[in-house]
Amino acid sequence: MTGSLPVTISDIEAAARRISGRILRTPFVNSASLSKLCGVPVGLKLEHHQTTGAFKLRGATNAVLMLTPEERARGVVAASTGNHGRALAHAAKAEGSVATICMSRLVPQNKIDEIRNLGAHVRIVGKSQDEAQQDVDRLVREDGLVMVPPFDHPAVTAGQGTLGLEILEDMPEVATVLVPVSGGGLAAGVAAAIKARKPQTRIIGITMERGAAMKASLDAGAPVMVEECPSLADSLGGGIGLDNQVTFAICRDLLDDIILLNEDEIAAGMRHAYAEEREIIEGAGAVGIAALLAGKVKKIDGSVAIILSGRNVDMAVHRRVINGQNDPWTEAAPWPG
């Protein structure tokens, strides 16, 4: 399917110019261990080193910079499982605005604290992202705040797409890109950038079995709701929005495949990142490595790029995973020490 998609390569190139100097251009490094495992060069885009610890600063910064001064003065608002909230809080403050972030009770405490520390107003509402979103809608309606959603927005998706441009600069021969997927802003942006420049590149989305909203929606041919469950990859939680305008169509048209992982596989990815690459990454950031380790990426016939999307994991959870416990959410007692 071709036709015009809601985000184009020129939107992404414009985003790259706009956010340049305001976000980090993160390193891209070779993984000796994964290259050996796969028999092809495997590179890691270390986007978890991004300011605020995840790629979401790219989209949030692009979106805030595209607001009028009058909109910026009213303030921005979003529902977020954490990383978008941190990103929007940071971006708003950097550009002289204020962010209000609405979250469900499933969001880990460390993420809530960090968003407060970035100067945002935090509101904890309901037990799902959908309930948090209803609060956002009310603040837009009644208080005139400007919504900057976590993924389903052209400026946000274009901002995430700047990662795709950087991967092509650092690994021009890339044949396969492994990208985490939740709402699909990252995957859609990266796919839109890379497919425009190098259409034969495979873009494979990776997500968790527990509540794979984009996968279920692509299978159904339209956005569907899925039940939210706790996962090590908590940043991949939440739906894609039944009224999805941007990311569903792009993922449908441009993603070559979506791979699903269980909790043990995600934990193995986090352990590999720590032990072999010496990187602390959150579950969502580990899914690309995890998919390779699980042998779920088929037909590898050229260089592979993996996006490590974030590092904002509760360190007690990370410690338990490193120590071999794959599902710390079901454990009532904290890890000793």
Ligand X SMILES: *Cc1c(COP(=O)(O)O)cnc(C)c1O
Cβ 327 to ligand X shortest distance, Å: 19
Binding of ligand X by 184 (CB under 6 A): yes
b/e map 281-293, b = 16+ CB within 10 Å: bbbbbbbbbbbbb
Binding of ligand X by 133 (CB under 6 A): no
Cβ 238 to ligand X shortest distance, Å: 8
Selected from 5, 19, 54, 206, the binder of ligand X by CB under 6 A is 54
Residues 217 to 276 in contact with ligand X, rule: CB under 6 A: 235-236
Cβ 326 to ligand X shortest distance, Å: 19
Is 74 or 252 the residue whose CB approaches ligand X more closely?
252
Cβ 180 to ligand X shortest distance, Å: 4
What would the x/- binding string for ligand X be over residues 289 to 328, using CB under 6 A? --------------------xx------------------
Cβ 39 to ligand X shortest distance, Å: 27
Count of positions on this chain that bind ligand X (CB under 6 A): 20
Is 41 or 245 the residue whose CB approaches ligand X more closely?
245
Is 40 or 257 the residue whose CB approaches ligand X more closely?
257
Residue range at the interface with ligand X (CB under 6 A); choices 35-43, 106-114, 182-190, 253-261 = 182-190
Q: What CA–CA distance (Å, rounded) separates 112 from 125?
A: 12
Residue range at the interface with ligand X (CB under 6 A); choices 12-20, 181-189, 256-264, 290-298 = 181-189
Is 253 or 302 the residue whose CB approaches ligand X more closely?
253
Residue type, 311: R
- Give the residue numbers marked as catalytic: 56, 309
Is 117 or 172 the residue whose CB approaches ligand X more closely?
117
Cβ 182 to ligand X shortest distance, Å: 3
Residue range at the interface with ligand X (CB under 6 A); choices 130-138, 184-192, 224-232, 323-331 = 184-192
Is 210 or 337 the residue whose CB approaches ligand X more closely?
210
Sign of the alpha-carbon dihedral angle for 96, 311, 175, 261:
negative
Cβ 80 to ligand X shortest distance, Å: 9
Binding of ligand X by 285 (CB under 6 A): yes
Residue nearest to ligand X (CB): 310
- For 336, other C-beta atoms within 10 Å of its C-beta total 5
Residue range at the interface with ligand X (CB under 6 A); choices 31-39, 279-287, 298-306, 323-331 = 279-287
SS (H, E, C) the chain: CCCCCCCCHHHHHHHHHHHECCECCCCEEECHHHHHHHCCCEEEECHHHCHHHECHHHHHHHHHHCCCHHHHHHCEEEECCCHHHHHHHHHHHHCCCCEEEEECCCCCHHHHHHHHHCCCEEEECCCCHHHHHHHHHHHHHHHCCEECCCCCCHHHHHHHHHHHHHHHHHCCCCCEEEEECCCCHHHHHHHHHHHHHCCCCEEEEEEECCCCHHHHHHHHCCCCCCCCCCCCCHHHCCCCCCCCCCHHHHHHHHCCEEEEECHHHHHHHHHHHHHCCCCCCCHHHHHHHHHHHCCCCCCCCCCEEEECCECCCCHHHHHHHHCCCCCHHHCCCCCCC
CB 123 within 8 A of CB 103: yes
Judged by the rule CB under 6 A, the positions of this chain that interact with ligand X are: 54, 56, 83, 150-151, 180-187, 235-236, 282, 284-285, 309-310
